[in-house]
Amino acid sequence: MKQNITVSLDKEMLQKGKVLAALQGTSLSRMVGDKLTEAIQENEAYARAKNKALSHLKKGFHFGGRVPSRDELHER
């Protein structure tokens, strides 16, 4: 379901926005809606990727081999 909103822009920005939208063959309303949708989708994709990466870090990684003892690591 779509719902209208009110956005306040200064007159110069409004005029430039209308021209830009016309050059792209769309309405200013559609252009603003598309840009907002794109920003939200990017933010959600980032959050999903971040959560996935953090879960991998919590799980840890096994690279094989044996783990050296503390003494072996600090031999002089």
Residue 53 confidence (pLDDT): 95
pTM for the whole structure? 0.70
Cα gap 49→55, rounded to integer Å: 10
Tokens of 14: 């409004």
| Integer Cα distance of 65 and 23 in angstroms | 61
pLDDT for residue 76: 67
Say what the pLDDT of residue 51 is: 97
Dig out the tokens for 13 from the structure: 């920005």
pLDDT tens-digit series, residues 2-61: 899 999 999 999 999 999 999 999 999 999 999 999 999 999 999 999 999 999 999 888
Alpha-carbon gap, residue 53 to 58, rounded angstroms: 9
The structural domains of the chain, with segments of one domain joined by +, span 29-57
pLDDT for res 72: 87
